[in-house]
Amino acid sequence: MTDAAALPRSIALFGHRGARGLRPENTIEGFAAIASLDLTGAEFDVGLTVDDVVVVHHDPRLNPDIARDGAGNWLAPEAAPLLRAQRFAELAAYDVGRLRPGSDYAARYPAQAPADGARIPTLDAVIEALAGRDLLVEVKTFPDHPDRTATPERMAAAVIDTLRRHRAIGRTLLFAFDWRVLRAAAAIEPGLRRCGLTAPDTVEAAPLWLGGIDLDAFGGQLPRAVAALGAVCWAPFHGTLQQSEVREAHALGLLVLPWTVNTAEAFDRMIGFGVDGMISDRPDLARDAIARAGLQLAAPGFVAAAPG
């Protein structure tokens, strides 16, 4: 009989915004890469239209580096409408299947294969496209610019209603930098697992972003603040994560899922830290790094197995 302790440790892998290093971000065409690579699941962002449709798009406005109108013209930055000011039918007229040539975005992701004709999808469509996969759903609200989106409470309610319709609560981790979203979600659906996102700029402005939590009350230790929120997971920016923080998070019973882990050096560093999973724009390269380390890729169901 094989000693269970001798089996390779597994690590979860999620494509960031679908898999934006390979295919257009937050599109059905991009989410197809998740299945082809047999990943644990996908991370993606959601917003809310004026007619209360939950859509999958990273920015509160249409992104002019990816959006073209019906005539094929690139959207001017000053003309980019807010999602919350558009009906879903209006958003569906834009093509988001290619990076604007010459943009900084295009330079960052030269391996992204275009998918002309790709549209901004609904959350309903993405859940269906990712059938059987774990979902990391990031709700985009901005406490420093509250006029850009619906309220955290309204956003959380709309997302949860969609997840309930698809019976997807159990395979979803709800993410937010704005921790008011996580508090609102807990009040609506206590069984939905939540994950506290952090970045250097949100930590610097902690009173604004962390839902009223006083970081000083926890000795400045983010894992302690996440645990106090009642979340099951902490998702820090990989570049600032320290191994001592991973150890502390694990001691508190938290999962650790760093985001935008994209290079060989970063893969190896995060794996060496013992993180529970990685969120990557290049999940193809991350998968290779996991194999080189002698680890197993966590199958879908990772979220369902998390403490909750």
What per-residue confidence (pLDDT) applies to 1? 35
- 10-residue mean pLDDT profile of the chain (308 residues): values are 53 97 97 96 98 97 96 94 97 97 97 97 98 98 97 98 98 98 98 98 96 93 97 98 97 98 98 97 98 96 90
CA 126/CA 265 separation, integer angstroms: 31
Distances in Å between the alpha carbon of 154 and those of 84, 139, 141?
12, 11, 11
Q: Which residues have C-beta within 8 Å of that of residue 131, sequence separation ≥ 6?
A: none
Q: What is the 3-state secondary structure (H, E, C) of the chain?
A: CCCHHHCCCEEEEEEECCCCCCCCCCCHHHHHHHHHCCCCEEEEEEEECCCCCEEECCCCECCCCCCECCCCCECCHHHCCEHHHCCHHHHCCCECCCCCCCCHHHHHCCCCCCCCCCCCCEHHHHHHHCCCCEEEEEECCCCCCHHHCCCHHHHHHHHHHHHHHCCCHHHEEEEECCHHHHHHHHHHCCCCEEEEECCHHHHHCHHHHCCCCCHHHHCCCHHHHHHHHCCCEEECEHHHCCHHHHHHHHHCCCEECCECCCCHHHHHHHHHHCCCEEEECCHHHHHHHHHHCCCEECCCCCCCCCCC
Query: What is the predicted pLDDT for the residue at 307?
Result: 83
pLDDT at 308: 75
On whether the CB atoms of residues 34 and 284 are closer than 8 A, the answer is no
Global confidence as pTM: 0.96
The confidence score (pLDDT) of residue 161 equals 98
**Partner residues linked to 58 by β-bridges:** none
